[in-house]
Amino acid sequence: MVASAKSIPKAATVRLPLDRRRWAAVCLGIVAAIVLLPAVSRGLGYRVFAWELLVEDSAYEVAGALCALFAGLVFFAAYLSGKKGNDFVLFTTPRNVFLAVLGILMLFLFGEEISWGQRLFGYATPAWLSDLNTQGEFTLHNLRFFEPDAITNYLSVLVMLTLIPYFGFFPMVYTRSAGIRSLVDRLGLPVPSVFLAAFFWLGLFGEAWIFFAFSDGEFLVQEVNDLVTEVAFLLFALEMYARDVTDAKPSAWRRTSLIVAGVLLIVLPVLSLVEFRRSGPKVETLIADYLVAKGNFTLNASLSNEAIALFEESLDLVPQHKDALRALGRAYHQKGDLDRAIGYYNAVLKIDPKDTLALFYRGLISLARGQFNPAIADFNHALLTNPDFQPAKDALKMANRQKHGG
């Protein structure tokens, strides 16, 4: 039996800031630019430039913070100017409180992005918070509870698990299901357009490509994802303003505000990139530090060969990187290649003769070979530089016992 035309639900049409073609071009063009600029730069060998775009206080982070700020302001403007409220069955509201909640969340995100003004005004992090924060900053999302290591952030995972159904599926369900659409409209729940759904999915696919294509993909994806999310919310805020504010013809101050915001979104990130290149830390060192952190994480999972590749990659960038040399020693130590391990520990000690860990690990190899005097000398030297290093104390006792036949 063929269904009648009346039985087939029609897709809902929603009011957009621009006509459908232009809004689709805006959404898809922006997400393509966000993903492709660092990815293509990285793929063509301009790794330092890709990182310069993405490191803290540079272009992508500044652009993301501005997007969060403008999104919060636009959500509040939609809340104050809108004529549609919420019907929660037991009570109604004169204005849409969901828009106010989204505005608060976006301004909170803006505060987190700028460490609540810490980077602007230079105030110190309280000691109790600095101990709990992986970056020693005045932020919530970098607390050790959410970020137990250099790779994982549970809060980011929770946010993505929320955004995938909300941005990725909810718009399609809303447009195709008359029953759900009726309930959502009654509640006044804001719904992104299908164009934002496409924006979101293209961002995710682009991030997956970056993640699997490059050894530093986790870092690149994290920063790209942050900007994709913040731009998505700004576009969402503009959609809700266009949808809930009844006057179709924009006033002069509104046009001026959009032009100023657009200029700031282009100029300030570019200026931040220029300033970072002028006075920021050397990017090669930042990349090497990241690769060593990822390599240590991999080594702890007993993936020695993968870890060695990461450590060697970091040495290609910074040949005298002490942490990478020491980590290579640990990796070969774990593989049982003790001669190569000692070679890397010696390289560390040539740079820093007081490196506690290199002395300790080299002492362990000497002890395993029955070379008690060199082992005892290394353990004693390690304890001179770090008297509270308990593993060296325990190893020294063991070496003395074995030397004297105990």
Side chain identity at residue 227, one-letter code: L
Bridge partner residues of 143 (DSSP):
133
CA-closest candidate to residue 42, choices 259, 218, 225? 218
- Pick from 277, 305, 331: which residue ends a domain? 277
The pLDDT value recorded for residue 276 is 80
Question: Tokens representing 59?
Answer: 């272009």
Q: Are 345 and 267 members of one domain? A: no
Residue 345 neighbours by CB under 8 Å, 6+ apart:
326, 329, 358, 359, 361, 362, 365
Q: Are 293 and 272 members of one domain? A: no
Which position has the higher pLDDT, 237 or 252?
237
The pLDDT value recorded for residue 9 is 43
- Pick from 213, 246, 277: which residue ends a domain? 277
CA-closest candidate to residue 122, choices 107, 138, 102? 138
Q: Are 264 and 148 members of one domain? A: yes
Mean local confidence (pLDDT), 164-191: 92
Q: How many angstroms separate the CA atoms of 374 and 108, rounded?
A: 57
The pLDDT value recorded for residue 17 is 79
Whether the Cβ atoms of residue 171 and residue 191 lie closer than 8 Å to each other? yes
Q: Are 192 and 154 members of one domain? A: yes
Concatenated DSSP letters of 334-381:
HHT-HHHHHHHHHHHHHH-TT-HHHHHHHHHHHHHTT-HHHHHHHHHH
Residue 81 neighbours by CB under 8 Å, 6+ apart:
241, 244, 245
3 domain-assigned: no
Q: Which alpha helices (H) appear in 82-113, and where do they start and end?
A: 97-113
The pLDDT value recorded for residue 259 is 74
21 domain-assigned: yes
Average pLDDT value over all residues in the chain:
87
7 domain-assigned: no
- Read off the pLDDT band of 242 (50, 70, 90): confident
Q: Are 198 and 305 members of one domain? A: no
261 domain-assigned: yes
Q: Is the pLDDT of residue 2 over 80?
A: no
The pLDDT value recorded for residue 118 is 82
Q: Is the pLDDT of residue 73 over 60?
A: yes
Side chain identity at residue 90, one-letter code: L
Q: Are 249 and 356 members of one domain? A: no
- Pick from 277, 297, 313: which residue ends a domain? 277
Q: Are 195 and 302 members of one domain? A: no
The pLDDT value recorded for residue 350 is 95
Mean local confidence (pLDDT), 48-74: 90
Q: How many angstroms separate the CA atoms of 2 and 388, rounded?
A: 81
Q: Are 257 and 304 members of one domain? A: no
What total of structural domains would you count in the chain? 2
8 domain-assigned: no
Parent domain of 107: 15-277
Q: pLDDT tens for residues 339-382?
A: 999 999 999 999 999 999 999 999 999 999 999 999 999 999 99
79 domain-assigned: yes
Q: How many angstroms separate the CA atoms of 263 and 286, rounded?
A: 30
